Homo-oligomer: A and B are copies of this chain.
């Protein structure tokens, strides 16, 4: 399989102790890049999200979206027999990923010092709410806790209104992506050193890392950024506007785009207005600019304006629902919805891999999400067969 698999992580084996979202999203991405992911689940129930609905054919869609392409074995790491199997997996594995609370794996005898001395090539990746160090290290966290603690919740929503959660679990997803970067970087480094490392990623830290200039600007100026509805904090016009019917997103940040926008809207006076002459003056006069542009945009429908602005080369968009987005011809052309034949669900549709590589064809025939312990027999047989060669 490896010889004909051009994916970059083909040949890499990931031992995956993760549950719920941040960890499984990371190992899903590793799987999509070619790694073999062996999901080690705790009996008798396995990954917590197997019980989170909605369900189709008795299977959790939440679990399915995150765990296709992986294998499953149920192991209780407090039982000697299961520990032997787990240690054989570590003998065979390149990467161990977990998202327990800090200290849990150490209490089971698999802390970093123990792991690194026995399996020096193993890359050990841990993702947690607040990280392995610091006063909050043992504090439990889920997505909304990270969004709230890290400041993102305070920035999302309309001015004067309550904060809004980012509509996907960006607390988990950002951490999963940084963790994946850490893992692939550590595997790269291992070629040179022959040794693995430990990667410690905190959901909280990742929320700070994605604040980009909100953090920098606050610490330089003391101004506390707030909620801006659909506006960008630094660029205008860069937001959703009302039209006669549906909202229309327009991003015309630099002078050329702004001139093209004003010409397309037929409001040449705006482009000569001294309040709107430079990117910085447009940012400072964003209220006035919104009023000027919206008075014109309200005269026609969103679809009419989209046609006008697309012809003029002005970046613009409708506010697509998930239904619109997944059916867009661009999503189809990019293979961003993948169908998997699932014994319980029937046709399971999941998001494709957004990392397109010149020498890797779009994958087909993904394994369906595994039933708990579904691959025990095959995994045990593989471990038995590979033992003599190590």
Contacts and interface: CB of A to CB of B under 8 A. Distances in A.
A221 B142 CA distance: 26
Interface string A311-333: 00111111111111110111101
Interface in A137-173: 139-145, 147-158, 161-170, 173
Contacts of A112: 358
Nearest to A184: B184
Nearest to A187: B188
A353 interface: yes
A320 B147 CA distance: 9
B230 A329 contact: no
A325 B151 contact: yes
A317 to B, nearest CB: 4
B231 A165 contact: yes
Interface string A179-193: 111101111110100
A210 interface: yes
Contacts of A199: 355-358
A218 interface: yes
A30 to B, nearest CB: 9
Interface stretch (A69-77, A246-254, A292-300, A373-381): A246-254
A354 B205 contact: yes
Given A188-B187, A207-B325, A321-B154, A214 B349 contact: no
A345 B215 CA distance: 15
B320 A149 contact: yes
Interface string A359-387: 11000000000000000000000000000
A194 interface: no
Contacts of A169: 212, 232
B184 A185 contact: yes
Interface stretch (A36-44, A50-58, A80-88, A265-273): A50-58
A64 B216 CA distance: 8
Contact of A142 (B144, B198, B253): B253
A307 interface: no
A54 B234 contact: yes
Nearest to A48: B254
A264 interface: no
A65 interface: yes
4 closest Cβ contacts across the A-B interface? A155-B167, A134-B333, A151-B325, A219-B349
Given A188-B188, A208-B352, 19 more contacts: A8-B185, A33-B185, A135-B333, A136-B330, A141-B251, A144-B249, A149-B317, A153-B240, A153-B249, A164-B164, A166-B170, A173-B212, A175-B354, A209-B354, A211-B322, A211-B325, A211-B351, A215-B326, A225-B322
25 contacts: A61-B217, A61-B220, A66-B213, A130-B334, A131-B356, A133-B334, A136-B330, A141-B317, A143-B251, A144-B232, A144-B317, A151-B320, A153-B319, A155-B167, A157-B157, A162-B240, A165-B231, A167-B228, A175-B354, A181-B184, A184-B185, A198-B357, A200-B358, A205-B352, A208-B351
